[in-house]
Structure 1
Amino acid sequence: MGLTEQKNKQIVEAAIQEFQERGFAGASMDRISERAQVSKRTVYNHFDSKETLFRAINQCMFDQLQASMEIRFDPSVPIREELVRLGWTQGKILTDPAGMNMARMMMGELLRDPALAANMNRRLDMVRIVRDFLDAAVQSGKLAIPDTWLAAEQFLGLIKSQGFYPKLFGEEVVSKTELEAIIQSTVDMFLNSYAAEVE
């Protein structure tokens, strides 16, 4: 890694900590430069504004999140186990305090900046990831779903309605025990509607 790349990495990591702790409005480029142990001029050489830095962090985080959420359906595994695995792939950020702090801060920015929201939706398409998984399950004969896009929205909605939105405006995150129960009940409801066979 070259010096420029190293400085860029230091700035991004420092900015993530700053945004997580203070939110976008309270974040300071001065504190980011102190955290990164670089001059303020260096920060501005890499990112010309706090908004530019925030968008770069979003891009970095969503690229990582998207990669971590990619999941392939395994037809050799019982469908219940596969759906539970899918639920945990989608829900693991909900149990991460740092991830939820960033999500809370980003939600505020989405309300402030509709263009940012549209851009994020284009980049992070969780519904597509789940739909692709469900399409493979349908093709294998494990599920019978007439509209996999709708079913993907339903699957995500059941998890988020219990594990994400109630925690969005508080300080806590859903516990792993709570999330396990949420995922199990989601899978129960999903199989009641869409199971093609009993295993």
Structure 2
Amino acid sequence: MTAPQRLTDRKREAIIQAAISEFRSNGFEITSMDRIAATAGVSKRTVYNHFPSKEELFAEILNQLWTRISTEQASAYQPDQPLREQLRHMLLGKLQMMADDNFLDLARVAIAATIHSPERAQNMVARMSEREESVTVWIRAAQADGRLKPVDPEFAAHQLQGLLKSFAFWPQISLGQPTLDNATQNTVVDAALDMFLACYQL
């Protein structure tokens, strides 16, 4: 990589980090590209060179956060391993993600930013859905191996993760409840697995 490219990458990263700080502190509506530029120590023109709009910048932050966490928690399907243990590892990873302060803060900002703008919400969801989610990929592989019923993998993944979010995401986002301790995380995961496998395992 050449020196100018490294400088460009550093500026882009500085913009993203500044935007995360501003969005977390002030919310989506109040945060401006001017403030982000000032916090990043770059010109507003530089910010717009990297991100044509505030919506694009925020979508990129959510995408990066999702990608990083998905990469850390992704597990390839293993045909010689019990389904329950494989899924348990993935779901505990999801709960750790939902307990991350950065993730929860940005999720609150995203929800507030989209609640009055269905178009903005659709755009953000579309951006974050560009890559297929790891649980969906895993379910499809288990189906191909003849170990899960042939339900729509996206539907089944959404259903499974909804069981987690009802305890470990929505109460924290909407009611300010504390994140789950380790014992409660295990209880929630085991109950979700009981329901999922009873319904879909062959």
Q: Shorter-normalised TM-score: what interval?
A: 0.7 to 0.9
Question: What TM-score comes out, normalization by structure 1 length?
Answer: 0.80
Q: Which string of whole-angstrom CA distances, capped at 9 and with x for unpartnered residues, describes residues 132-183 of structure 1?
A: 312222333443x241433223211111122111111244552242322211
Alpha-carbon shift at residue 47 of structure 1 (Å): 4.2
Q: Where does the alignment leave 5 or more consecutive residues of structure 2 unmatched?
A: none
Q: Where does the alignment leave 5 or more consecutive residues of structure 1 unmatched?
A: none
Q: Does 1:165 align with 2:170?
A: yes
Q: Check conservation: 2:28, 2:109, Cα contact below 8 A.
A: yes
Question: Residues 10 and 110 (structure 1 numbering): CA distance in 2 closer, same or farther, change over 3 Å?
Answer: same
Measure, in 2, the Cα distance between the counterparts of 1:63 and 1:169.
Answer: 24
The amino acid that maps onto 1:121 is V
The amino acid that maps onto 1:24 is F
Q: Check conservation: 2:20, 2:61, Cα contact below 8 A.
A: yes
Secondary structure of the corresponding residue to residue 191 of structure 1? helix
Query: What's the counterpart of residue 181 of structure 1?
Result: 187
Question: What TM-score comes out, normalization by structure 2 length?
Answer: 0.79
Q: CA RMSD in A?
A: 2.8
Secondary structure of the corresponding residue to residue 74 of structure 1? coil
Q: 2:145 aligns with which of 140, 143, 149?
A: 140
Measure, in 2, the Cα distance between the counterparts of 1:128 and 1:42.
Answer: 32
Q: Check conservation: 1:14, 1:36, Cα contact below 8 A.
A: yes
The amino acid that maps onto 2:100 is D
Alignment of 1:18-37 (within 5 A): 18-37=22-41
Alignment of 1:64-143 (within 5 A): 64-68=68-72, 70-125=74-129, 129-143=134-148
Q: 1:61 aligns with which of 62, 65, 68?
A: 65
